[in-house]
Amino acid sequence: MKEFTIKPISLEITSHLKSKIDLKTKPLGALGRLEEIALKIGTIENTLTPKLNAPTIIVFAGDHGISSEGVSPYPQEVTYQMVLNFLNGGAAICVFSKQNGINLKIVDAGVNHDFLIPSSLINAKIAKGTKNFLKTPAMTKEQCENALLKGASIVKKVIEEGSNIIGFGEMGIGNTSSASIIMSLLCSIPIEKCVGRGAGLDDSSLKKKMGILKQAIQKNSHHFRENNPISILTTFGGFEISMICGGMLQAAELGVIILIDGFIATSALLVASKLYPTILDYCIFCHESDESGHGMMLKYLKAEPLLHLKMRLGEGTGAAIAYPLIKSAVSFLNEMASFDEANVSEKL
């Protein structure tokens, strides 16, 4: 597996940033979380005048063999249909990205479909979906490592093109099942507490989903080791989750800001953070998904999200909606006058 070098963020500039924030024409702490974001971004970039260059969201799409067990109310073909919707600009992530000036890239990580039309789709297909992990591991070790590498390569290219802030989205019918098991095993939380309604399961279908996932963990007990995140990702993950994991690790290695979306994207980060804990220094948690396990996952990571709008769409939409807040934090740090500049008296 590729080794990454993710350095802890230097805190040498922190006191200078804090002083700059405190001396703006406002009461101390009056801009709340925006001050925290400004401090974090300035620290990541190691400058008193940070910039957000070519903000980009990359949506990775992949199919899941477990979807054949009825763990989602939608059929598998919705994955490829939604990819076409992304490419045609009709999905929520397209609307929000356009609204907020975010570059959007769509990746075929492993969709069970041949995309024959010329398009902007990035072809990184590992296979036409993972295998049904109720019967066999979702992927081979080689496939998982290949997905990690491809995710890293795609992100590296985006950064080379000028981006220093990247969000990660996903699309894949059945992928909340993968994320639930990853969460359960890596956070040591019973699977029953990790499983949510996904794309809208009713009570009986939710109960069925819990039973299937519990059975899958038991059946695959000899295929993974609880202290080995890659073996868990290989056994239960998706190609899109693996690519997001690799992409996040590459982003952190190159020192850019990582925007964390919802339940699926956070499960990829969970794997990444078990491998390289310092990746968390580079992350801004954009929102808390209404998928039931996400709040617990965020608490496990000691993360405080910016928004809680009861969204559970995925696609990177939480990151896209949170971006204007992040932009506001950088704008006030760079453009707001200090007390001295404005000739305003400070607090006595």
Q: What is the CATH number of the domain that holds 170?
A: 3.40.50.10210
Query: Which whole number is the average pLDDT over 312-326?
Result: 97
118 φ/ψ sector (left φ>0, alpha ψ -120 to 50, else beta): beta
| pLDDT score, position 41 | 98
**pLDDT tens digits for 91-107?**
999 999 999 999 999 99
Q: Is the pLDDT of residue 184 over 80?
A: yes
pLDDT band, very low/low/confident/very high, at 292 (cuts 50, 70, 90): confident
The amino acid at residue 162 is: G
- Whether residue 323 sits in one domain with residue 337: no
4 in any annotated domain: no
348 in any annotated domain: no
Q: Is the pTM of this model over 0.95?
A: yes
User: Residue 108: helix, strand or coil by DSSP?
Assistant: strand
Both tokens of residue 198?
């996904």
- Whether residue 154 sits in one domain with residue 90: yes
Query: Which whole number is the average pLDDT over 102-126?
Result: 94
DSSP 279: G
The amino acid at residue 102 is: I
Q: Is the pLDDT of residue 296 over 90?
A: yes
The residue count for the chain: 348
Query: Which whole number is the average pLDDT over 279-295?
Result: 96
Q: Is the pLDDT of residue 347 over 80?
A: no
Query: Which whole number is the average pLDDT over 227-249?
Result: 97
Query: Which whole number is the average pLDDT over 162-185?
Result: 97
Strand partners, 165: 257
325 in any annotated domain: yes
End-to-end CA distance of the chain: 58
Q: Who wins on pLDDT, 329 or 2? A: 329
Distance CA 40, CA 27 (A): 20
Q: Which domain holds residue 36?
A: 14-50+332-342
5 in any annotated domain: no
- Whether residue 304 sits in one domain with residue 195: yes
- Whether residue 278 sits in one domain with residue 174: yes
- Whether residue 131 sits in one domain with residue 233: yes
Query: Which whole number is the average pLDDT over 202-208?
Result: 89
45 in any annotated domain: yes
Q: What angle (nearest 5°) sits at the alpha carbon of residue 202, between those of residues 199 and 204?
A: 130
Catalytic residue among 160, 315, 335, 341: 315
Q: Mean pLDDT for the chain?
A: 96
Q: Is the pLDDT of residue 346 over 80?
A: no
Q: Is the pLDDT of residue 348 over 80?
A: no
Q: Is the pLDDT of residue 205 over 70?
A: yes
- Whether residue 337 sits in one domain with residue 324: no
Cβ count within 10 A of residue 68 = 14
21 in any annotated domain: yes
Counted domains in the chain: 2
pLDDT above 90 coverage of the chain, percent = 90
Distance CA 21, CA 26 (A): 9
16, 39 contact by CB (below 8 A):
no
- Whether residue 293 sits in one domain with residue 147: yes
| pLDDT score, position 15 | 97
170 in any annotated domain: yes
- Whether residue 26 sits in one domain with residue 60: no
Cβ count within 10 A of residue 208 = 15
- Whether residue 105 sits in one domain with residue 43: no
Phi, psi angles (nearest 5°) of residue 346: -85, 170
| pLDDT score, position 2 | 85
3 in any annotated domain: no
- Whether residue 227 sits in one domain with residue 150: yes
- Whether residue 255 sits in one domain with residue 138: yes
| pLDDT score, position 214 | 95
- Whether residue 336 sits in one domain with residue 218: no
Distance CA 313, CA 263 (A): 10
282, 255 contact by CB (below 8 A):
yes
| 315 has catalytic annotation | yes
Q: Is the pLDDT of residue 165 over 90?
A: yes
CATH code for the domain in which residue 42 is found: 1.10.1610.10
